A = this chain, B = another copy of it.
């Protein structure tokens, strides 16, 4: 056992008294030992040279002792080599299947949301996306419906059964948004809004962390630690394109980052092919590429009338194009030995 900082990882069945025993053992010759329940996984962050005497026989062996080199600690792939499954409501991400979250960029009206959610659910989406709080470059652009939009998402979930993934952009809103949403999205512009990350991490809901368009792969991993180090292991990393000199697309999707996230962490990876390209005809090829590169999930903008959308309409897929995408993804999945995740319960219709 080295004197460097490292994380001891234990099996979920290891109880509090065994962890306490380990802490005592690890600190017996100086050094520190800080326990953290990381999701269902007991861990201890240890520093110092380690104990002078041998481990007492009654203490369970750790599954792994992971050196914390670099900025990645609880997200490191060695912490949980089998990978983490993130559960956004009834939808699993990271179990091998391809999970598609879809919906409008921004919630506009109850009808628009209901119609779109019906379309994406019928085509096989397992969750809905929809922004109530919209971070906009200019204060003079539509800023979302805020709490009213959140209520519309709540209603749409009741009728569709699809869980809600929605953005939160102010640490003061986190508790209230988390009370409704099944998953919290941290937008690209807030990836390094560290106080927001801390609040989101503490809110007890899964977090989808979108990559900042000016941020590196290493910085994404470091930002995720702000959430993970609070014991919240329900984090999805989302690649959505970076800023480059190429102006043919709004952003340049970094397809290698998808593979790097999968290789370097145990977290599931999502890709947003809609915001990266900003061009509807590129959504399908980029989505296909993302899945072939190993992405666990997709986040797709769909809108019934893209031309009249209040936010980023130009890039949204039409319902028919989304259906075609889902069909192609289903075929692709077979070629990869995977399958499309699905929902089975019927959708409620509005009454009256």
- Contact present for A285 and B258 (CB under 8 Å): yes
What's the Cα separation between A28 and B145 when bound, in Å? 31
What's the Cα separation between A192 and B333 when bound, in Å? 37
- Contact present for B138 and A71 (CB under 8 Å): yes
Across the two chains, which residue of chain B brings its CB closest to A136?
B194
For A223, give its contact among B137, B217, B229, B259 (CB under 8 Å).
Answer: B137
Known: A222-B137, A259-B282. A214 touches B214 (CB 8 A): yes
Interface string of A276-318 (1 = CB under 8 A from B): 1100011001101111111000000000000000000000000
* Size category of the binding interface on chain A: 35 or more
Number of copies of this chain that the complex holds: 4
Across the two chains, which residue of chain B brings its CB closest to A133?
B195
How far, in Å, is A257 (CB) from chain B's closest CB?
Answer: 7
- Contact present for B169 and A172 (CB under 8 Å): no
Is A349 among interface residues, defined by CB-CB distance under 8 A? no
How far, in Å, is A89 (CB) from chain B's closest CB?
Answer: 27
- Contact present for A214 and B216 (CB under 8 Å): no
Interface string of A166-180 (1 = CB under 8 A from B): 000111100000000
CB-contacts of A301-340 with B (<8 A): 331-337
For A138, give its contact among B222, B285, B337 (CB under 8 Å).
Answer: B222
Is A159 among interface residues, defined by CB-CB distance under 8 A? no
Is A253 among interface residues, defined by CB-CB distance under 8 A? yes
- Contact present for A139 and B225 (CB under 8 Å): yes
Known: A286-B256, A293-B289. A192 touches B137 (CB 8 A): yes
What's the Cα separation between A280 and B245 when bound, in Å? 22
What's the Cα separation between A233 and B279 when bound, in Å? 28
- Contact present for A245 and B248 (CB under 8 Å): no
- Contact present for B229 and A139 (CB under 8 Å): yes
Residues of B within 8 A of A281 (CB): 259, 263
* CB<8 Å pairs between A and B, sample of 6: A189-B193, A189-B194, A216-B247, A242-B244, A259-B285, A260-B282
